[in-house]
């Protein structure tokens, strides 16, 4: 058991070094940096445009729908990597299993396309 935990020692050293370096750089920046606040530094930056209106303005539902679609179709990549690693061990069964998975995702994509969820020209 001891040799198993020893194999994680370089990772722990790396994480401690990275955390120490980043904390040290932040402290040095805080100690040496100038603090001269003025109006321009304290104002909100919106791509060079002076901000107007309320910051709590509601977004259109379309933005949330696209975010959920991105998550849905991005998660599929998580299943492709382990499948690719053990593809030779799975043989034809694994091939057809992944083909069925892709067909189900494709059916969902076509359904969303037909419903107009990906059409940004409509309002």
Q: What is the CATH number of the domain that holds 41?
A: 1.20.58.1610
Nearest to 63 by CA among 120, 121, 5: 120
Is the residue at 121 inside a domain? Answer: no
Q: Which residues of 13-44 are buried (b: 16+ CB within 10 A; e: fewer)?
A: eeeeeeeeeeeeeeeeeeeeeeeeeeeeeeee
pTM: 0.47
- Cα–Cα distance for residue pair 83/93, rounded to 1 Å: 12
What is the pLDDT, as a whole number, of residue 23? Answer: 98
Is the residue at 123 inside a domain? Answer: no
Domain limits for position 91: 2-115
How does pLDDT run along the chain (123 residues), one tens digit per residue?
Answer: 567 778 888 899 999 999 999 999 999 999 998 888 888 777 777 677 776 777 777 777 777 777 878 887 788 888 888 888 888 898 899 899 999 999 988 888 888 788 777 777 765
Is the residue at 10 inside a domain? Answer: yes
């Amino acid at each position: 058991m001891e040799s198993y935990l020893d194999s994680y020692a370089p990772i722990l050293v790396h994480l401690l070094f990275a955390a120490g370096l980043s904390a040290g750089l932040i402290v040095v920046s805080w100690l040496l940096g100038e603090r001269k606040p003025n109006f321009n530094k304290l104002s909100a930056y919106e791509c060079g445009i002076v901000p107007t209106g309320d910051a709590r303005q509601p977004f259109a539902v379309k933005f949330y729908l696209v975010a959920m679609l991105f998550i849905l179709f991005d998660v599929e990549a998580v299943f492709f990597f382990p499948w690719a690693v053990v593809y030779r061990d799975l043989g034809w069964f694994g091939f057809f299993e992944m083909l069925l998975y892709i067909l189900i995702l494709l059916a969902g994509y076509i359904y969303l396309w037909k419903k107009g969820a990906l059409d940004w020209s409509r309002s």
